[in-house]
Protein backbone atom coordinates (compact mmCIF):
# COMPACT_ATOMS: atom_id res chain seq x y z
CA UNK A 1 0.00 0.00 0.00
CA UNK A 2 1.30 3.52 -0.73
CA UNK A 3 0.28 6.78 0.90
CA UNK A 4 0.37 10.45 -0.07
CA UNK A 5 1.11 13.65 1.97
CA UNK A 6 -0.18 17.03 0.81
CA UNK A 7 0.93 20.51 1.96
CA UNK A 8 -1.54 23.14 0.80
CA UNK A 9 -1.14 26.12 0.88
CA UNK A 10 2.50 27.14 1.23
CA UNK A 11 2.61 30.26 3.37
CA UNK A 12 5.00 33.17 3.17
CA UNK A 13 5.38 32.79 -0.57
CA UNK A 14 3.71 35.07 -3.07
CA UNK A 15 0.54 33.36 -4.18
CA UNK A 16 -0.11 29.81 -3.16
CA UNK A 17 0.37 26.21 -4.17
CA UNK A 18 0.00 22.65 -3.07
CA UNK A 19 2.44 19.86 -2.25
CA UNK A 20 1.51 16.20 -2.53
CA UNK A 21 3.59 13.34 -1.23
CA UNK A 22 2.89 9.71 -2.15
CA UNK A 23 3.90 6.93 0.19
CA UNK A 24 4.07 3.17 -0.31
CA UNK A 25 2.77 0.59 2.12
CA UNK A 26 5.85 1.08 4.31
CA UNK A 27 5.42 4.88 4.39
CA UNK A 28 8.39 5.31 2.09
CA UNK A 29 8.16 8.29 -0.26
CA UNK A 30 7.52 7.21 -3.83
CA UNK A 31 6.79 10.63 -5.36
CA UNK A 32 6.45 14.31 -4.39
CA UNK A 33 5.12 17.19 -6.44
CA UNK A 34 4.68 20.94 -6.08
CA UNK A 35 1.41 21.82 -7.82
CA UNK A 36 0.34 25.26 -8.90
CA UNK A 37 -3.42 25.20 -9.01
CA UNK A 38 -4.28 28.72 -10.05
CA UNK A 39 -5.98 29.86 -13.19
CA UNK A 40 -3.79 31.21 -16.01
CA UNK A 41 -5.04 33.93 -18.27
CA UNK A 42 -2.98 37.08 -18.64
CA UNK A 43 -1.36 36.08 -21.94
CA UNK A 44 -4.80 35.63 -23.44
CA UNK A 45 -6.74 38.59 -22.23
CA UNK A 46 -4.07 41.12 -23.21
CA UNK A 47 -4.63 40.14 -26.85
CA UNK A 48 -6.50 42.81 -28.79
CA UNK A 49 -5.24 45.65 -26.60
CA UNK A 50 -3.04 48.38 -28.12
CA UNK A 51 0.64 47.55 -27.61
CA UNK A 52 1.32 50.67 -25.56
CA UNK A 53 -1.03 49.39 -22.89
CA UNK A 54 1.06 46.28 -22.24
CA UNK A 55 3.53 47.77 -19.70
CA UNK A 56 0.61 49.17 -17.72
CA UNK A 57 -1.62 46.11 -17.88
CA UNK A 58 0.87 43.31 -17.30
CA UNK A 59 2.25 44.81 -14.13
CA UNK A 60 -1.13 43.98 -12.60
CA UNK A 61 0.12 40.40 -12.59
CA UNK A 62 1.64 41.14 -9.22
CA UNK A 63 1.55 43.55 -6.30
CA UNK A 64 5.10 42.73 -5.22
CA UNK A 65 7.17 42.90 -8.41
CA UNK A 66 5.02 45.00 -10.78
CA UNK A 67 8.05 47.09 -11.77
CA UNK A 68 9.77 44.06 -13.26
CA UNK A 69 6.77 43.31 -15.46
CA UNK A 70 6.45 46.98 -16.33
CA UNK A 71 10.08 47.17 -17.45
CA UNK A 72 10.20 43.82 -19.25
CA UNK A 73 7.09 44.78 -21.21
CA UNK A 74 8.52 48.25 -21.85
CA UNK A 75 11.71 46.77 -23.28
CA UNK A 76 9.63 44.65 -25.63
CA UNK A 77 7.43 47.58 -26.63
CA UNK A 78 10.55 49.70 -27.27
CA UNK A 79 11.35 47.25 -30.03
CA UNK A 80 7.86 47.54 -31.47
CA UNK A 81 8.58 51.25 -31.95
CA UNK A 82 12.00 50.43 -33.35
CA UNK A 83 14.22 51.16 -30.36
CA UNK A 84 16.67 48.52 -29.16
CA UNK A 85 17.94 48.67 -25.55
CA UNK A 86 21.29 50.14 -26.56
CA UNK A 87 19.55 52.89 -28.53
CA UNK A 88 17.50 54.18 -25.63
CA UNK A 89 18.71 57.60 -24.49
CA UNK A 90 21.32 57.42 -21.73
CA UNK A 91 19.11 59.31 -19.23
CA UNK A 92 16.17 56.98 -19.96
CA UNK A 93 18.37 53.93 -19.45
CA UNK A 94 19.65 55.25 -16.15
CA UNK A 95 16.21 56.27 -14.88
CA UNK A 96 14.82 52.83 -15.76
CA UNK A 97 17.76 51.17 -14.03
CA UNK A 98 17.23 53.30 -10.93
CA UNK A 99 13.62 52.14 -10.87
CA UNK A 100 14.68 48.54 -11.33
CA UNK A 101 17.31 48.61 -8.58
CA UNK A 102 14.76 50.16 -6.22
CA UNK A 103 12.37 47.36 -7.06
CA UNK A 104 14.87 44.54 -6.58
CA UNK A 105 16.14 46.15 -3.36
CA UNK A 106 12.71 46.42 -1.75
CA UNK A 107 11.60 42.99 -2.92
CA UNK A 108 14.75 41.28 -1.63
CA UNK A 109 14.52 43.20 1.65
CA UNK A 110 10.91 42.14 2.10
CA UNK A 111 11.75 38.54 1.37
CA UNK A 112 14.73 38.32 3.66
CA UNK A 113 13.50 40.24 6.66
CA UNK A 114 9.89 39.14 6.65
CA UNK A 115 9.70 35.81 4.91
CA UNK A 116 13.07 34.07 5.29
CA UNK A 117 14.52 35.47 8.51
CA UNK A 118 11.87 33.88 10.80
CA UNK A 119 13.01 30.46 9.59
CA UNK A 120 16.67 31.32 10.09
CA UNK A 121 16.33 33.13 13.41
CA UNK A 122 13.93 30.73 15.10
CA UNK A 123 14.51 27.49 13.20
CA UNK A 124 12.24 25.67 10.77
CA UNK A 125 10.66 23.57 13.50
CA UNK A 126 10.00 26.34 16.01
CA UNK A 127 6.57 27.44 17.19
CA UNK A 128 4.71 28.86 14.17
CA UNK A 129 3.14 31.49 16.43
CA UNK A 130 6.61 32.91 16.91
CA UNK A 131 8.12 32.06 13.53
CA UNK A 132 6.84 35.09 11.63
CA UNK A 133 7.54 38.78 11.19
CA UNK A 134 5.83 39.64 14.47
CA UNK A 135 8.16 37.23 16.25
CA UNK A 136 11.14 38.87 14.55
CA UNK A 137 9.86 42.30 15.60
CA UNK A 138 9.51 41.21 19.22
CA UNK A 139 12.89 39.53 19.57
CA UNK A 140 14.96 41.51 17.10
CA UNK A 141 13.34 44.96 16.97
CA UNK A 142 16.42 46.71 15.53
CA UNK A 143 16.63 44.17 12.73
CA UNK A 144 12.92 44.62 12.05
CA UNK A 145 13.30 48.41 11.98
CA UNK A 146 16.12 48.19 9.46
CA UNK A 147 14.11 45.78 7.36
CA UNK A 148 11.19 48.19 7.30
CA UNK A 149 13.36 51.16 6.39
CA UNK A 150 15.25 49.28 3.69
CA UNK A 151 12.01 48.20 2.07
CA UNK A 152 10.71 51.74 2.43
CA UNK A 153 13.81 53.16 0.74
CA UNK A 154 13.30 50.90 -2.27
CA UNK A 155 9.65 51.77 -2.45
CA UNK A 156 10.38 55.48 -2.22
CA UNK A 157 12.74 55.08 -5.19
CA UNK A 158 9.91 53.41 -7.11
CA UNK A 159 7.59 56.26 -6.14
CA UNK A 160 10.18 58.80 -7.25
CA UNK A 161 10.48 57.31 -10.73
CA UNK A 162 7.02 55.82 -11.33
CA UNK A 163 4.82 58.14 -9.32
CA UNK A 164 3.56 55.60 -6.82
CA UNK A 165 4.87 52.59 -5.00
CA UNK A 166 2.67 49.95 -6.61
CA UNK A 167 1.51 49.93 -10.22
CA UNK A 168 3.04 53.29 -11.09
CA UNK A 169 3.96 54.22 -14.62
CA UNK A 170 7.42 55.27 -15.67
CA UNK A 171 8.00 54.09 -19.20
CA UNK A 172 6.71 55.25 -22.52
CA UNK A 173 7.47 53.46 -25.80
CA UNK A 174 11.10 54.31 -26.50
CA UNK A 175 11.92 55.88 -23.15
CA UNK A 176 10.55 57.29 -19.92
CA UNK A 177 8.01 60.04 -19.44
CA UNK A 178 9.74 62.17 -16.83
CA UNK A 179 13.16 63.07 -15.55
CA UNK A 180 14.24 63.18 -11.91
CA UNK A 181 14.33 66.55 -10.16
CA UNK A 182 17.46 67.73 -8.35
CA UNK A 183 15.61 68.28 -5.08
CA UNK A 184 13.87 64.93 -5.39
CA UNK A 185 17.14 63.02 -5.42
CA UNK A 186 18.49 64.93 -2.43
CA UNK A 187 15.79 63.23 -0.34
CA UNK A 188 17.65 59.95 -0.85
CA UNK A 189 21.14 61.27 -0.27
CA UNK A 190 21.13 63.74 2.62
CA UNK A 191 20.15 61.36 5.44
CA UNK A 192 17.50 63.74 6.78
CA UNK A 193 13.94 62.61 6.15
CA UNK A 194 14.85 58.99 5.47
CA UNK A 195 18.07 57.02 5.94
CA UNK A 196 20.31 57.76 2.95
CA UNK A 197 21.66 55.55 0.21
CA UNK A 198 24.93 55.41 2.17
CA UNK A 199 23.02 54.05 5.14
CA UNK A 200 21.39 51.45 2.89
CA UNK A 201 24.86 50.33 1.81
CA UNK A 202 26.03 50.19 5.42
CA UNK A 203 23.02 48.14 6.55
CA UNK A 204 23.35 45.84 3.55
CA UNK A 205 26.94 45.07 4.55
CA UNK A 206 25.80 44.45 8.13
CA UNK A 207 23.14 41.98 7.10
CA UNK A 208 25.63 40.08 4.93
CA UNK A 209 27.91 39.90 7.97
CA UNK A 210 24.95 38.48 9.89
CA UNK A 211 24.47 35.85 7.21
CA UNK A 212 28.15 34.90 7.25
CA UNK A 213 28.01 34.55 11.00
CA UNK A 214 24.81 32.50 10.73
CA UNK A 215 26.50 30.29 8.16
CA UNK A 216 29.48 29.75 10.43
CA UNK A 217 27.14 28.57 13.18
CA UNK A 218 24.71 26.64 10.99
CA UNK A 219 26.94 25.36 8.23
CA UNK A 220 25.41 21.91 8.03
CA UNK A 221 21.88 23.25 7.59
CA UNK A 222 22.71 25.95 5.05
CA UNK A 223 25.08 23.78 3.05
CA UNK A 224 22.99 20.65 2.84
CA UNK A 225 19.28 21.46 3.18
CA UNK A 226 17.53 20.90 -0.17
CA UNK A 227 20.84 20.78 -2.01
CA UNK A 228 20.77 19.19 -5.48
CA UNK A 229 22.60 19.65 -8.77
CA UNK A 230 20.96 21.88 -11.38
CA UNK A 231 21.50 24.19 -14.29
CA UNK A 232 21.67 27.95 -13.65
CA UNK A 233 20.39 30.72 -15.90
CA UNK A 234 20.66 34.50 -15.88
CA UNK A 235 21.49 37.64 -17.79
CA UNK A 236 25.10 38.81 -17.85
CA UNK A 237 26.66 41.97 -19.18
CA UNK A 238 27.36 41.56 -22.89
CA UNK A 239 30.82 43.12 -22.66
CA UNK A 240 32.36 41.69 -19.50
CA UNK A 241 30.07 38.90 -18.25
CA UNK A 242 29.32 40.76 -15.02
CA UNK A 243 26.07 40.54 -13.07
CA UNK A 244 23.34 42.31 -15.04
CA UNK A 245 19.77 42.94 -13.93
CA UNK A 246 18.36 45.32 -16.56
CA UNK A 247 19.77 44.36 -19.93
CA UNK A 248 22.24 41.70 -21.00
CA UNK A 249 22.68 38.41 -22.80
CA UNK A 250 21.40 35.02 -21.66
CA UNK A 251 23.93 32.68 -20.12
CA UNK A 252 23.39 29.26 -18.56
CA UNK A 253 25.66 26.65 -17.04
CA UNK A 254 25.12 23.10 -15.88
CA UNK A 255 25.64 21.93 -12.29
CA UNK A 256 29.37 21.65 -12.88
CA UNK A 257 29.72 25.08 -14.44
CA UNK A 258 29.92 24.02 -18.08
CA UNK A 259 28.31 26.55 -20.40
CA UNK A 260 24.96 25.40 -21.77
CA UNK A 261 23.76 28.73 -23.13
CA UNK A 262 26.51 30.96 -24.43
CA UNK A 263 25.57 34.64 -24.17
CA UNK A 264 22.50 34.46 -26.37
CA UNK A 265 20.86 37.75 -27.48
CA UNK A 266 17.36 38.36 -26.08
CA UNK A 267 15.64 38.18 -29.45
CA UNK A 268 16.85 34.62 -29.95
CA UNK A 269 15.46 33.16 -26.72
CA UNK A 270 12.72 31.32 -28.58
CA UNK A 271 15.30 29.23 -30.41
CA UNK A 272 16.59 27.80 -27.14
CA UNK A 273 13.61 27.35 -24.81
CA UNK A 274 10.68 24.98 -24.73
CA UNK A 275 7.98 24.97 -22.09
CA UNK A 276 6.78 21.51 -21.08
CA UNK A 277 3.30 21.00 -19.67
CA UNK A 278 2.27 18.56 -16.95
CA UNK A 279 -1.30 17.53 -16.17
CA UNK A 280 -0.92 18.20 -12.45
CA UNK A 281 0.13 21.87 -12.59
CA UNK A 282 -0.93 25.05 -14.36
CA UNK A 283 2.69 26.16 -14.21
CA UNK A 284 4.81 25.22 -17.22
CA UNK A 285 8.27 23.69 -17.09
CA UNK A 286 10.79 25.62 -19.26
CA UNK A 287 13.94 23.88 -20.41
CA UNK A 288 16.72 24.25 -22.94
CA UNK A 289 15.74 22.53 -26.18
CA UNK A 290 19.18 21.28 -27.06
CA UNK A 291 19.62 19.56 -23.69
CA UNK A 292 16.12 18.18 -23.31
CA UNK A 293 13.34 18.10 -20.72
CA UNK A 294 15.13 15.83 -18.25
CA UNK A 295 18.33 17.83 -17.76
CA UNK A 296 17.69 21.13 -19.52
CA UNK A 297 15.91 22.95 -16.69
CA UNK A 298 17.61 25.76 -14.79
CA UNK A 299 17.35 27.61 -11.54
CA UNK A 300 16.99 31.36 -11.87
CA UNK A 301 17.28 34.13 -9.30
CA UNK A 302 20.04 35.32 -6.98
CA UNK A 303 21.96 32.04 -6.67
CA UNK A 304 21.85 31.37 -10.41
CA UNK A 305 22.87 34.95 -11.23
CA UNK A 306 25.91 34.83 -8.96
CA UNK A 307 26.85 31.47 -10.46
CA UNK A 308 26.72 32.50 -14.10
CA UNK A 309 28.28 35.96 -13.80
CA UNK A 310 32.02 36.72 -13.81
CA UNK A 311 31.90 39.52 -11.26
CA UNK A 312 29.96 42.54 -10.03
CA UNK A 313 30.67 46.10 -11.07
CA UNK A 314 30.28 47.71 -7.63
CA UNK A 315 33.23 47.34 -5.24
CA UNK A 316 31.58 46.13 -2.04
CA UNK A 317 29.29 43.64 -3.75
CA UNK A 318 32.25 42.42 -5.81
CA UNK A 319 34.18 41.71 -2.62
CA UNK A 320 31.22 39.80 -1.21
CA UNK A 321 30.81 37.87 -4.46
CA UNK A 322 34.41 36.73 -4.24
CA UNK A 323 33.87 35.55 -0.65
CA UNK A 324 30.68 33.80 -1.73
CA UNK A 325 32.34 31.99 -4.61
CA UNK A 326 35.20 30.97 -2.31
CA UNK A 327 32.67 28.83 -0.43
CA UNK A 328 32.72 26.47 -3.41
CA UNK A 329 36.29 27.18 -4.51
CA UNK A 330 34.96 29.10 -7.45
CA UNK A 331 32.83 26.20 -8.65
CA UNK A 332 29.09 26.35 -9.28
CA UNK A 333 27.13 26.59 -6.04
CA UNK A 334 24.15 24.19 -5.90
CA UNK A 335 23.30 24.81 -2.23
CA UNK A 336 19.70 25.96 -2.21
CA UNK A 337 19.85 27.77 1.13
CA UNK A 338 22.78 29.84 -0.13
CA UNK A 339 20.17 31.59 -2.26
CA UNK A 340 19.43 33.74 0.81
CA UNK A 341 23.09 34.73 1.02
CA UNK A 342 23.20 35.50 -2.71
CA UNK A 343 20.05 37.60 -2.32
CA UNK A 344 21.77 39.73 0.30
CA UNK A 345 24.77 40.31 -1.95
CA UNK A 346 22.34 41.55 -4.58
CA UNK A 347 20.78 43.86 -1.99
CA UNK A 348 24.21 45.39 -1.50
CA UNK A 349 24.74 45.63 -5.25
CA UNK A 350 21.40 47.41 -5.66
CA UNK A 351 22.20 49.82 -2.82
CA UNK A 352 25.54 50.73 -4.40
CA UNK A 353 23.95 51.13 -7.82
CA UNK A 354 21.12 53.31 -6.49
CA UNK A 355 23.65 55.65 -4.90
CA UNK A 356 25.70 55.76 -8.09
CA UNK A 357 22.66 56.52 -10.24
CA UNK A 358 21.21 59.08 -7.84
CA UNK A 359 24.50 61.00 -7.95
CA UNK A 360 24.59 60.86 -11.76
CA UNK A 361 23.42 64.12 -13.37
CA UNK A 362 22.17 62.23 -16.42
CA UNK A 363 18.97 61.40 -14.51
CA UNK A 364 18.18 65.14 -14.45
CA UNK A 365 18.23 65.36 -18.25
CA UNK A 366 15.19 65.93 -20.46
CA UNK A 367 16.57 63.68 -23.19
CA UNK A 368 14.07 60.96 -22.47
CA UNK A 369 12.72 59.26 -25.61
CA UNK A 370 13.81 57.81 -28.94
CA UNK A 371 11.91 56.70 -32.02
CA UNK A 372 12.69 54.16 -34.71
CA UNK A 373 11.11 52.15 -37.47
CA UNK A 374 7.94 50.32 -36.50
CA UNK A 375 8.26 46.54 -36.06
CA UNK A 376 5.77 43.74 -35.53
CA UNK A 377 7.49 41.94 -32.69
CA UNK A 378 9.38 42.72 -29.53
CA UNK A 379 11.16 40.71 -26.82
CA UNK A 380 12.02 42.17 -23.43
CA UNK A 381 14.12 40.20 -20.95
CA UNK A 382 15.00 41.44 -17.50
CA UNK A 383 16.31 39.95 -14.27
CA UNK A 384 13.39 40.33 -11.88
CA UNK A 385 14.06 39.81 -8.16
CA UNK A 386 13.13 36.15 -8.53
CA UNK A 387 14.99 35.57 -11.80
CA UNK A 388 14.91 35.79 -15.56
CA UNK A 389 11.67 37.32 -16.83
CA UNK A 390 10.74 37.12 -20.52
CA UNK A 391 8.03 39.18 -22.23
CA UNK A 392 7.36 38.62 -25.93
CA UNK A 393 4.68 40.45 -27.95
CA UNK A 394 3.50 40.42 -31.54
CA UNK A 395 1.27 43.19 -32.91
CA UNK A 396 -0.79 43.70 -36.07
CA UNK A 397 -1.00 46.68 -38.41
CA UNK A 398 -3.67 48.26 -36.23
CA UNK A 399 -1.31 48.31 -33.23
CA UNK A 400 -3.21 45.52 -31.46
CA UNK A 401 -1.39 42.77 -29.60
CA UNK A 402 -2.00 39.49 -31.38
CA UNK A 403 0.25 37.22 -29.33
CA UNK A 404 1.84 37.40 -25.91
CA UNK A 405 4.24 34.94 -24.32
CA UNK A 406 5.43 35.41 -20.75
CA UNK A 407 8.03 33.18 -19.12
CA UNK A 408 8.29 34.48 -15.60
CA UNK A 409 10.96 33.78 -13.03
CA UNK A 410 8.94 31.38 -10.94
CA UNK A 411 8.09 29.37 -14.05
CA UNK A 412 11.81 28.78 -14.64
CA UNK A 413 12.06 27.72 -11.02
CA UNK A 414 9.17 25.25 -11.29
CA UNK A 415 11.31 22.16 -11.75
CA UNK A 416 13.91 23.39 -9.20
CA UNK A 417 11.15 23.87 -6.62
CA UNK A 418 9.86 20.39 -7.37
CA UNK A 419 13.39 19.07 -6.87
CA UNK A 420 13.54 20.89 -3.53
CA UNK A 421 10.22 19.39 -2.46
CA UNK A 422 11.43 15.92 -3.43
CA UNK A 423 14.56 16.46 -1.36
CA UNK A 424 12.50 17.33 1.71
CA UNK A 425 10.11 14.46 1.05
CA UNK A 426 12.96 11.98 0.87
CA UNK A 427 14.93 13.41 3.77
CA UNK A 428 12.24 14.62 6.16
CA UNK A 429 8.90 13.00 5.35
CA UNK A 430 10.12 9.54 4.42
CA UNK A 431 8.75 6.89 6.79
CA UNK A 432 6.14 9.21 8.32
CA UNK A 433 2.39 8.73 8.15
CA UNK A 434 1.34 12.08 9.53
CA UNK A 435 2.34 15.70 9.01
CA UNK A 436 3.77 17.71 11.87
CA UNK A 437 4.02 21.50 11.86
CA UNK A 438 7.80 21.28 11.61
CA UNK A 439 7.66 18.87 8.69
CA UNK A 440 5.23 21.11 6.86
CA UNK A 441 7.41 24.13 7.39
CA UNK A 442 10.52 22.36 6.12
CA UNK A 443 8.74 21.85 2.83
CA UNK A 444 7.91 25.53 2.84
CA UNK A 445 11.48 26.51 3.76
CA UNK A 446 12.74 24.70 0.67
CA UNK A 447 10.22 26.42 -1.57
CA UNK A 448 10.63 29.83 0.07
CA UNK A 449 14.35 29.91 -0.84
CA UNK A 450 13.15 30.62 -4.36
CA UNK A 451 10.86 33.41 -3.16
CA UNK A 452 8.28 32.11 -5.61
CA UNK A 453 5.65 34.44 -6.92
CA UNK A 454 2.95 32.01 -7.89
CA UNK A 455 0.48 34.70 -8.78
CA UNK A 456 3.00 35.93 -11.37
CA UNK A 457 3.81 32.46 -12.56
CA UNK A 458 0.25 31.57 -13.33
CA UNK A 459 -1.03 35.11 -13.73
CA UNK A 460 -3.69 34.09 -11.24
CA UNK A 461 -7.03 35.42 -10.24
CA UNK A 462 -8.71 34.69 -6.95
CA UNK A 463 -7.80 33.16 -3.64
CA UNK A 464 -4.67 31.09 -3.52
CA UNK A 465 -4.30 28.85 -0.45
CA UNK A 466 -1.55 26.27 0.16
CA UNK A 467 -1.95 22.70 1.37
CA UNK A 468 0.11 19.61 2.10
CA UNK A 469 -1.55 16.25 1.52
CA UNK A 470 -0.35 12.75 2.29
CA UNK A 471 -1.73 10.00 0.02
CA UNK A 472 -1.70 6.25 0.50
CA UNK A 473 -1.17 3.56 -2.06
CA UNK A 474 -4.83 3.69 -3.09
CA UNK A 475 -4.91 7.45 -3.55
CA UNK A 476 -6.63 8.15 -0.26
CA UNK A 477 -5.64 11.25 1.70
CA UNK A 478 -4.35 9.99 5.05
CA UNK A 479 -3.25 13.36 6.42
CA UNK A 480 -3.59 16.96 5.33
CA UNK A 481 -2.61 20.41 6.53
CA UNK A 482 -3.94 23.67 5.12
CA UNK A 483 -2.75 27.20 5.75
CA UNK A 484 -4.85 30.14 4.74
Partner 1 sequence: MKEKTILFGIGNCGRADDGLGWAFLDKIKAYLPNNYDIEYRYQLQVEDAELATNYKNVVFIDAHHQSFEKGYIWKKCHPKATESFTTHELDPESVLYLTETIYNKHPKAAILGITGDNYCLEMGLSPAATKNLSKALNFYKNSFLNPINLGTDKSHILK
When binding is defined by CB under 8 A, the residue of 3, 7, 14, 269 that contacts partner 1 is 14
* H/E stretch holding 412: helix 409-412
Stretch that binds partner 1, among 133-141, 278-286, 322-330, 336-344 (CB under 8 A): 133-141
Stretch that binds partner 1, among 131-139, 177-185, 398-406, 417-425 (CB under 8 A): 131-139
CA gap 251, 239 in Å, rounded:
13
**Interface size with partner 1, residues (CB under 8 A):** 34
When binding is defined by CB under 8 A, the residue of 4, 75, 391, 483 that contacts partner 1 is 483
| HEC string for 33-68 | EEECCCCCCHHHHCCCCEHHHHHHHHHHHCCCCHHH
When binding is defined by CB under 8 A, the residue of 149, 291, 364, 482 that contacts partner 1 is 149
191 binds partner 1 (CB under 8 A): no
Nearest to 236 by CA among 269, 261, 263: 263
Nearer to partner 1 by Cβ, of 322 and 461: the residue is 461
Residue ranges of the alpha helices (H) in 218-314? 219-224, 302-308
159 binds partner 1 (CB under 8 A): no
When binding is defined by CB under 8 A, the residue of 24, 40, 159, 166 that contacts partner 1 is 166
Nearer to partner 1 by Cβ, of 131 and 284: the residue is 131
192 binds partner 1 (CB under 8 A): no
Give 258's contacts (C-beta < 8 A, 6+ positions apart): none
When binding is defined by CB under 8 A, the residue of 3, 5, 16, 306 that contacts partner 1 is 16
Strands 298-299 and 29-35, by their bridges, are unpaired
Residue ranges of the alpha helices (H) in 273-375? 302-308, 315-326, 338-358
Nearer to partner 1 by Cβ, of 156 and 198: the residue is 156
477 binds partner 1 (CB under 8 A): no
Stretch that binds partner 1, among 10-18, 259-267, 297-305, 428-436 (CB under 8 A): 10-18
Nearest to 445 by CA among 417, 465, 415: 417
Binding mask 371-410 for partner 1 (x = CB under 8 A): ----------------------------------------
Strands 466-472 and 18-23, by their bridges, are parallel
List % helix, strand, coil for the chain (3-state, nearest 5). Answer: 45, 20, 35
CA gap 263, 235 in Å, rounded:
8
Nearer to partner 1 by Cβ, of 7 and 144: the residue is 144
| HEC string for 359-408 | CCHHHHCCCCECCCCCCCEEEEEEEECCEEEEEEEEECCCCEEEEEEEEC
CB 429 within 8 A of CB 22: no
436 binds partner 1 (CB under 8 A): no
Binding mask 55-94 for partner 1 (x = CB under 8 A): -----x--xx------------------------------
147 binds partner 1 (CB under 8 A): yes
- What is the smallest separation between the CB atom of 411 and partner 1, expressed in angstroms? 18
Stretch that binds partner 1, among 140-148, 234-242, 300-308, 427-435 (CB under 8 A): 140-148
Chain centroid to Cα 474, Å, comes to 37
CA gap 227, 449 in Å, rounded:
11
Nearer to partner 1 by Cβ, of 197 and 250: the residue is 197
Q: What number of other Cβ atoms are within 10 A of residue 261's Cβ?
A: 23
When binding is defined by CB under 8 A, the residue of 1, 90, 138, 182 that contacts partner 1 is 138
- What is the smallest separation between the CB atom of 39 and partner 1, expressed in angstroms? 10
CB 464 within 8 A of CB 16: yes
369 binds partner 1 (CB under 8 A): no
Binding site for partner 1 (CB under 8 A): 9, 11-16, 60, 63-64, 110, 113-115, 128-129, 132-134, 137-138, 141, 144-145, 147-149, 151-152, 155, 166, 461, 483-484
Amino acid sequence: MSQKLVIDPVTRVEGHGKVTVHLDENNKVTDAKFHIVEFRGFERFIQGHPYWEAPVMVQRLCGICPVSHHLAAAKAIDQIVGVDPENLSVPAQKIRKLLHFGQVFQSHALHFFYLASPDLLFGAESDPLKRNVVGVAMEYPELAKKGILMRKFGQEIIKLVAGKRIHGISTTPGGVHRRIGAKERTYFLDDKEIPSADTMIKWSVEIIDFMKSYHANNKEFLDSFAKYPSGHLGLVNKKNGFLELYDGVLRATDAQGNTTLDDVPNDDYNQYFYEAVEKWSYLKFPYLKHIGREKGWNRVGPLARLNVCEGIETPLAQKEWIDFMDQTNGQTNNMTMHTHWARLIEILYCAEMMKKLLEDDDILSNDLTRKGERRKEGVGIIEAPRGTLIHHYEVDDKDRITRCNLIVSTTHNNEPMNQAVRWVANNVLDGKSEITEGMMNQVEVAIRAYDPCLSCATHAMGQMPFELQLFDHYGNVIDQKIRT
